[in-house]
Structure 1
Amino acid sequence: MNDQALIEFEPMWTTERDRWELWPTGKGYLPILKGDPPMAEVICDDDLADRVIARMLAAGVTVVGQT
Structure 2
Amino acid sequence: MTGRDLSKYERMWTTERDQWALFRSGAGYLPILKGDPPLAEVICDGELEELVVARMLAAGVTVVADPRDCRATS
TM-score (norm 2): 0.80
Distance in 2, Cα, partners of 1:2 & 1:61: 23
Deviation at 1:26, TM superposition (A): 1.8
Distance in 2, Cα, partners of 1:42 & 1:25: 14
Deviation at 1:41, TM superposition (A): 0.1
Unmatched 5+ stretches in structure 2:
66-74
Distance in 2, Cα, partners of 1:42 & 1:58: 20
- Residue 18 of structure 1 corresponds to 18
CA RMSD of superposed structures (Å): 1.4
Matched residues, number: 64
Identity %: 66
- Residue 40 of structure 2 corresponds to 40
Distance in 2, Cα, partners of 1:25 & 1:50: 15
Deviation at 1:33, TM superposition (A): 0.1
